[in-house]
């Protein structure tokens, strides 16, 4: 084996360390139908994305559930749509000073809720058949704060540009490493979070993270400091979503909002491993591109072998996260270029402009403590 290959495959192997044990929601359903559940949906201008979630909730067979949609000052028909579906609908106006929109909507929804168990769902999610039962059963087995990253369903080619973002985001949460439960989670997944009403209000819930852009990560950390541990799962077979269906600008703005800020709060060892993995994937492309000039040199051969290894690994990592497909893995260099461009944009807006724009609002960015 040429030494050049080791330089590429050693960092490649790190992905199995930081994302080697994806954990799904349990398939066995416990008898929890007597537990009252409040599903809380923060929604701002979600008229186009909300119907699949409301329809999936109406199709659930869990008998003891209330649905609360918190309309965060929408300018479309979000409220009317929610009321027509039979959901309790709260209509908010301007966000109070000292709050960001989503944490405030979640907090207001939780105060209105009467259930023993609170389930916060993003408006672009949808539950699979018996998905609500699986979420309740997952909480019953884990306790504390439970979050589930939905299975990513995509329609258009541009949506698959989320591939590398998905891998890095899943790794940064520190829940799916080879160490398993021996390493505590470093955050939670905002699209689907579950906790008891008692734990939520005892710790302070979203009031703790009222100024946080990445409120899901911050909430897990703040509740953890108050004795409520976080357990994370992937949602294949339980819950899905379609992120950023509004076009490539929508996708770019969404990842821009989260990514640089997320990098600044990621565990340093995880960040180092993921940086080495990304750098090696880039070096692999560089090695292969030298073939016209250098012929079949050791570096070119190493790059070709490593490229095949990266394609296989990326496909393996993505296939339980969403319908990305093999073509996404084969063309990962395209996704890598997009990833770098969005990361640089996110750094600029976060560190230089100190604000990002999302859903028509200019959101200030605080420096990490």
200 and 268 share one domain: no
212 and 272 share one domain: no
219 and 297 share one domain: no
Would you say residue 348 lies in a domain? Answer: yes
What are the pLDDT digits (tens) for 129-175? Answer: 999 999 999 999 999 999 999 999 999 999 999 999 999 999 988 89
* Contact status, residue 288 vs residue 303, Cβ threshold 8 Å: yes
Q: How many structural domains are present in the chain?
A: 2
* Contact status, residue 188 vs residue 147, Cβ threshold 8 Å: yes
Q: Report the pLDDT averaged over residues 321-325.
A: 96
Residue 331 has pLDDT above 60, yes or no: yes
Q: Which of 218, 245, 272 is the last residue of a domain?
A: 245
Q: Which of 194, 213, 245 is the last residue of a domain?
A: 245
Beta strands 239-241 and 125-127: pairing type?
antiparallel
67 and 170 share one domain: yes
Find the Cα–Cα–Cα–Cα dihedral 318, 323, 328, 329, rounded to 10°: 30
- pLDDT tier for residue 345 given thresholds of 50, 70 and 90: confident
240 and 299 share one domain: no
Residue ranges with strand state E in 7-124: 37-43, 65-72, 88-92, 117-121
167 and 108 share one domain: yes
Which residue from 146, 150, 153, 152 is spatially nearest to 187, judged by alpha carbons?
146
Would you say residue 256 lies in a domain? Answer: no
Residue 261 has pLDDT above 90, yes or no: no
Which residue from 276, 242, 319, 279 is spatially nearest to 56, judged by alpha carbons?
242
Would you say residue 295 lies in a domain? Answer: yes
Would you say residue 305 lies in a domain? Answer: yes
The DSSP line for 283-298 is HHHHHHHTHHHH-S-H
**Cα separation values, 195 from 25, 240, 309, 338, Å:** 15, 19, 40, 36
User: At 133, which helix (H) or strand (E)?
Assistant: helix 131-142
Host domain of residue 340: 3-18+263-364
Q: Report the pLDDT averaged over residues 250-279.
A: 81
Q: Collapsing DSSP states into helix, strand and coil, what is residue 369? A: coil
Other C-beta atoms closer than 10 Å to the C-beta of 319 total: 16
The domain that contains 212 carries what CATH number?
3.90.550.10
225 and 275 share one domain: no
The DSSP line for 299-357 is HHHHHHHHHHHHHHHHHHHHTTTBS--HHHHHTHHHHHHHHHHHHHHHHIIIIII-EEE
Would you say residue 257 lies in a domain? Answer: no
201 and 345 share one domain: no
Strand order in the sheet with 88-92: 88-92, 65-72, 37-43, 117-121, 192-196, 145-149, 230-234
295 and 208 share one domain: no
Would you say residue 32 lies in a domain? Answer: no
Would you say residue 76 lies in a domain? Answer: yes
Which residue from 188, 151, 42 is spatially nearest to 106, judged by alpha carbons?
42
270 and 220 share one domain: no
What are the pLDDT digits (tens) for 291-303? Answer: 877 777 888 999 9
Would you say residue 279 lies in a domain? Answer: yes
171 and 270 share one domain: no
What are the pLDDT digits (tens) for 54-94? Answer: 999 999 999 899 999 999 999 999 999 999 999 999 999 88
pLDDT score at 264: 59
């Amino acid at each position: 084996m040429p030494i050049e290959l080791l330089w590429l495959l050693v960092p490649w192997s790190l992905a199995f360390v930081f994302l080697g044990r994806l954990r799904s929601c349990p398939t066995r359903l416990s008898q929890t139908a007597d537990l009252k559940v409040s599903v809380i949906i923060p929604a701002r201008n979600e008229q186009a994305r909300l119907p699949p979630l409301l329809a999936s909730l109406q199709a659930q067979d869990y008998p003891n559930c209330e649905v609360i949609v918190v309309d965060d000052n929408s300018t479309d028909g979000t409220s009317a749509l929610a009321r027509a579906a039979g959901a309790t609908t709260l209509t908010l106006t301007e966000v109070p000073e000292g709050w960001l929109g989503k944490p405030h909507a979640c907090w207001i929804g939780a105060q209105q809720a009467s259930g023993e168990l609170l389930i916060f769902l993003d408006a672009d999610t949808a539950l699979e058949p018996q998905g609500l039962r699986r979420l309740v059963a997952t909480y019953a087995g884990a306790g504390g704060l439970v979050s589930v990253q939905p299975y990513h369903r995509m329609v258009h080619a541009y949506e698959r540009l989320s591939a590398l973002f998905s891998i890095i985001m899943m790794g940064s949460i520190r829940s799916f490493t080879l160490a398993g439960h021996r390493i505590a989670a470093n955050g939670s997944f905002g699209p689907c979070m579950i906790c008891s009403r008692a734990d939520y209000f005892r710790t302070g819930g979203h009031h703790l993270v009222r100024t946080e852009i990445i409120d899901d990560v911050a909430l897990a950390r703040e509740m953890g400091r108050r004795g409520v541990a976080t357990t994370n799962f992937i949602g294949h077979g339980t819950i899905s979503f379609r992120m950023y269906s509004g076009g490539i600008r929508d996708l770019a703005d969404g990842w821009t909002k989260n990514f640089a800020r997320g990098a600044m709060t990621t565990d340093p060892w995880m960040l180092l491993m993921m940086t080495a993995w990304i750098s090696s994937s880039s070096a692999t492309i560089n090695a292969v591109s030298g073939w016209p000039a250098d012929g079949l040199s050791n570096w070119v051969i190493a790059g070709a072998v490593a490229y095949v290894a990266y394609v296989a690994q990326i496909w393996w990592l993505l296939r339980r996260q969403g319908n990305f497909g093999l073509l996404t893995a084969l063309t990962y260099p395209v996704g890598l270029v997009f990833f770098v461009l969005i990361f640089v944009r996110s750094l600029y807006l976060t560190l230089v402009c100190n604000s990002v724009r999302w859903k028509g609002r200019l959101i200030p960015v605080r420096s990490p403590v």
